[in-house]
Amino acid sequence: MIVFPNAKINLGLRILRKRADGFHDIETIMVPVGLSDALEIVPSADGAFAFTTSGIAIQGEPEENLCVKAFRMMQRKYGLPEVKIHLHKVIPAGAGLGGGSSDAAFALKLTRRLFSIKVCGNELHEMAAALGSDCPFFIENITSVASGRGEVLQPFPLSLNGYHLLLVKPDVSVSTPWAYNSIAPSGMSLPAPDQLVQSPDAWDAMLVNDFEPAVMKAYPVIREVRDKIRSLGAFYTAMSGSGSAVFGLFNSQPVVKREDFGRMFVWQELR
């Protein structure tokens, strides 16, 4: 079985406070987008486990990969046999696009399908939350307001249908722990939902990413990319998550040449 774990972008990201457990309470709107990895899990014919990869190089030992951790969690809980896992990476790491979290969530869902496991959505959500703060979002994979440390989700009635997305990954990667250690919580919440639905042209002022000042100071190229996207006519530009990817939303398809950025970029019409 093959699935295609997709990326996400963040419309605004407010860091409310640091918690006693070391995490931070946040508020953000997460939106699924079409940039995707490919994940295959099949039963092991020889009884031996294997994890292979292609595409963007993946660092670390196989058992440290979130896909493998997700499968092992299901294996321990339901007594599953070994499998062969292949992950083709397209979503870059250190970009704020949730690629690893998406891979883990899709591994949970694919394992459930592969072995016809009867597990309710709430239980799968809890398993995803144990793997990472962003993982639960990719279980339902719909536009949602995320709070808590990112695992508390509320579906958000916001459609980006018909808008065009330009997504750029500068040639730098940002460590999420470093980013959290580099900011002071703003304590500011997101605007009310009805304001956002009615006023997309005002999002640049309304939807603030609290990571941007510190991250862009440390990595000026991220600010340069954001300004370049804005100059192309985007009505909203922002860094996704803790960076380094930057995106712009447009009313019509932007005219973009690879030499405009000299780095990875993708565009798509949102549906």
Q: Residue 217 catalytic? A: no
Is 152's pLDDT higher than 80? Answer: yes
Give the per-residue pLDDT at 130.
96
Average pLDDT over residues 134-140: 97
> 103, 134, 169, 210: which is the annotated catalytic residue?
134
pTM of the model: 0.94
Q: Are strands 152-155 and 164-169 parallel, antiparallel or unpaired?
A: unpaired
Q: Find tokens 């891979």 and name the residue.
A: 103
Closest CA to 268 of 8, 6, 35: 35
Task: List the domains of the chain with CATH numbers.
Answer: 2-155 (3.30.230.10), 164-269 (3.30.70.890)
> 8, 109, 169, 228: which is the annotated catalytic residue?
8
CA–CA distance, 233 with 223 (Å, rounded to integer): 16
Confidence tier at 87 by pLDDT (50, 70, 90): very high
What DSSP designation does 72 have?
H
Q: Residue 134 catalytic? A: yes
